[in-house]
Structure 1
Amino acid sequence: MSRRRKAEKREVLADPKYKSVLVTQFVNNVTRQGKKRLAEGLFYDAIEIVNQRTGQDGITVFKKAVDNVKPVLEVKSRRVGGANYQVPIEVKSERRVSLAIRWLINYARSRSEKSMAEKLANEFIQASKNEGGAVRKKVDTHKMAEANKAFAHFRF
């Protein structure tokens, strides 16, 4: 952590098609090796697949998926008197969104479908129904925080 001034948050521009900052954040996280156009294409294809499979608006399914994956609590290691404790803390709103996006992408990448667009679409659909790997990760994180509730007084 810097002892000087706090790092400034960069302004993220809304995505041109859906006018959503959340979509831009997601696309930026999917981007690899500077290929943002490819990542945008993957995301838009995934939204189209969601439209076809569910009959619902793809963006609303995506937003619901992100909301369902957002964690409320997480654990952080805290060293107290020579012992490490897993201390449960509340997650700030910006970190909630970034964790949800990261988990959705990671679990989509580990799926077995053919294309990345299909993987993303299926992860969105499952997460919007409170199923899938990303939601399981959130539940596991909450269970860890619940199990270590006894150490909450070490919060910093």
Structure 2
Amino acid sequence: MSRRHAAEKREVLPDAKFGDVVLTKFMNSLMFDGKKSTAEGIVYGAFDIIEKKTGSSPVDVFHEALDKIKPDIEVRSRRVGGATYQVPVEVRSERGQALAIRWLIASARKRSEVTMVDRLSGEILDASNDRGGAVKKREDTHKMAEANRAFAHYRW
């Protein structure tokens, strides 16, 4: 990691169907080997299923799910005098969004449905209803930060 200057943020173009930048970031994270059209097909297929099941806008359900997954606090390792402490720190909004996207995709891939479209739609619906693997990951992160609150004075 360079110490000279921070990495420049790349501008991400909004997706074609819904015009949403966060959705494009989600598709880019879902994508394997540069196959963006496959990732788009998976996401749009999942959104069609969500729209059939809920009857509401799939983009709103997606954003609601991301907000429920997004962590507020996490632990970072801090070395003090030979000992390593797990210090709870606040999560920046960009990092919170990136973690939420990563956790949502990881928990969708672990599900037992046959196709990725079904897995993703199920995980997004579960997350919007406060259950599922991604929400559990957020709860575990918050519990770990709460357990290590005694080391909060090592924050830097």
Band the TM-score falls in, shorter-chain normalisation:
over 0.9
Moved over 3 A (4+): none
Partner of 2:143: 143
The answer for the alignment partner of 1:123 in structure 2 is 123
Aligned AA (1:28): N
Offset at 1:88? 0.2
State the shift of 1:110 in Å: 0.2
- Which string of whole-angstrom CA distances, capped at 9 and with x for unpartnered residues, describes residues 39-58 of structure 1? 00100000000011122211
The percentage of aligned residue pairs carrying the same residue is 56
Counterpart amino acid of residue 56 in structure 1: S
One-letter identity of the residue aligned with 1:155: R
**TM-score, length-normalised on structure 1?**
0.98
Cα RMSD after superposing both structures? 0.6
Q: What is the match of residue 67 of structure 2?
A: 67
Deviations for 1:63-113, whole angstroms, at most 9, x for unmatched residues? 100010000000001110111100000000100000000000000000000
Q: TM-score scaled by structure 2?
A: 0.98
Partner of 2:50: 50
The equivalent residue for 1:81 is 81
Equivalent residue letter for 1:15:
D
Q: Partner letter of residue 45 of structure 2?
A: D
Structure 2 equivalent of residue 31 of structure 1: 31
**Residue 16 of structure 1: CA displacement?**
1.1
3-state SS of paired residue (1:22): helix
